[in-house]
A and B are shown apart, each in its own frame.
Chain A
């Protein structure tokens, strides 16, 4: 991908413009310290959450808090995972995010292909639409959806109630990301297929789709994370674990008298760790996906 090539070029040039001389070593040390500090700040809350999640009941209430856990147990995890609403909410989130992502991919990839490859009027309008949707405050579409779902289309507190608005979160980013991905792909192969007599649609499905599989996968990850992280739609368009996503379930955790810190921390780890692992492995693709629209415009 172009961005990655540019990244490599940038990296090389960064090395070239590094000024030789006495100040160099000192400057390098300062830079390393700053990098370590940034990484520390980024990861410290994650560390704190993991540590809190494995502390036992007594240590959780010790003041001042212990920086390294003296006790170690999975009781908080077991407690979360043995709660039926918790596991049900996890399942809800997984189903909602998967279905939304698949829908957005099917529709968005076709759209992106047309915008990137074919000639037609109104391309700008399509891209502009996908961009402007991302600027709408979500709170402004929640009210009308609530009214609609509780009257005309009675799907309040179902998966459909969340999958439909979640498309707002995943479709635009899928379109933007795939457009930039298709544009980076050499058109030669596709033209060869067309010369062979394949139709546009066959060229798309048999040649372009396999070639773009990595891009589609990255778009899927971005979409999945976007939907998985939704809170507002889940909060307003569901009432209980019939369809409630885990982000909402976690906030409805609060105990009667004391706040169950350990269980909340364990839940936060369970909800976030899959995303963190994906991000760590697919860092480059996700970065190019996030920045697709902004840099190339």
Chain B
């Protein structure tokens, strides 16, 4: 009996030691709540949505498993294929513009000048706006009679008198791109700015001694060293743009749908029989994002070599 007791207390000692010194169980205990929460609030619903997309009517208690037939139906739905087109066009144009403007703004506000922190703070303002509120503010400015943007566009004859961008599908996409570029260019600029600031200045000094121009320095030093942060920023923006919802909810009416708004409309604004199509479209969006992420990871490996 005595020996057993000793054994037990010895084991307890080692357990506590490991717990206290931190390199045994402690890290796992500290990390576990986060991992569990992430799995519960994100991973589980995603896996569940894949399952729901294979049921004929996920809202019914007697739902039948139908395999991939929801996907087959989805791709023969012209509303859905149209939403893919809209999403892809929106993503390509807005991400491209945000990257170019973001790079420009970052180069512009890098360095010292009076009022620097005020400038940086003010370009953060659009980022702080809730997306749906920024959509509403721009909706206000796009209004045909009292909107300032429409008024300016009418004055410079981009739009005929009394017209608004929101009258046509293409106009709505343009209006959404403008709003998105306004809202997210600051985010891009700040990411790029942070990337600019970790480039060692000795490189520029050496290049200055070599007599290369600023333009040459940009292409030979700045851009290659920015590639890493730029690709990450691009990935995040691309995925966010592919999931565009709030903007088109306000600006698109029912005319222009992204994949996410198609999914929302089918899940929540139509008959319960359309719920499955909505979930399926959302899973499609997730898978498309996954594939694009993998492409970007591959791209990052290539650029870091």
Interface of A with B (CB < 8 Å)? 3, 6-7, 9-19, 31-32, 34-35, 38-39, 41-43, 45-46, 48-49, 52, 60-65, 67, 107-108, 110-111, 113-115, 117-120, 122, 126, 129-130, 132-148, 164-165, 167-168, 171-172, 175, 199-200, 225, 228-232, 235-236, 247, 250-251, 261, 264-265, 268, 271-272, 275-276, 278-280, 283-284, 286-288, 290-291, 293-295, 297
Contacts and interface: CB of A to CB of B under 8 A. Distances in A.
Nearest to A118: B27
Given A63-B146, A147-B58, A232 B34 contact: no
Interface in B2-58: 20-23, 26-28, 30-31, 33-35, 37-46, 48-49, 52, 58
Interface stretch (B72-80, B90-98, B106-114): B106-114
A200 B20 CA distance: 6
B38 A17 contact: no
A229 B128 CA distance: 8
Contacts of A134: 236
18 contacts: A35-B119, A43-B122, A119-B27, A137-B285, A137-B286, A138-B243, A139-B245, A140-B283, A143-B52, A172-B38, A200-B21, A228-B130, A229-B130, A235-B268, A236-B264, A250-B133, A288-B194, A295-B195
A65 B147 CA distance: 7
A13 B49 contact: no
A231 B33 CA distance: 26
Contacts of B239: 135, 137
A289 B280 CA distance: 35
A283 B30 contact: no
B42 A133 contact: yes
A interface, over-half SS: helix
B258 to A, nearest CB: 9
A232 B283 contact: no
B49 A143 contact: yes
B127 A283 contact: no
Contacts, number: 319
Contacts of B43: 133
B37 A64 contact: no
Contacts of A16: 201, 205
Nearest to A64: B151
A10 B34 contact: no
Nearest to B246: A231
Instruction: Please list the 6 inter-chain residue pairs (A to B) with the smallest Cβ-Cβ separation, ordered nearest first.
Output: A14-B111, A13-B201, A291-B194, A114-B30, A111-B34, A120-B27
Contacts of B151: 63-65
Given A38-B108, A39-B122, A126-B31, A295 B229 contact: yes
B120 A287 contact: yes
B138 A294 contact: no
Interface in B272-298: 275, 278-279, 282-283, 285-286, 289-290, 293
A6 B110 CA distance: 12
Interface in B205-246: 205, 208, 214, 228-229, 232-233, 235-236, 239, 242-243, 245-246
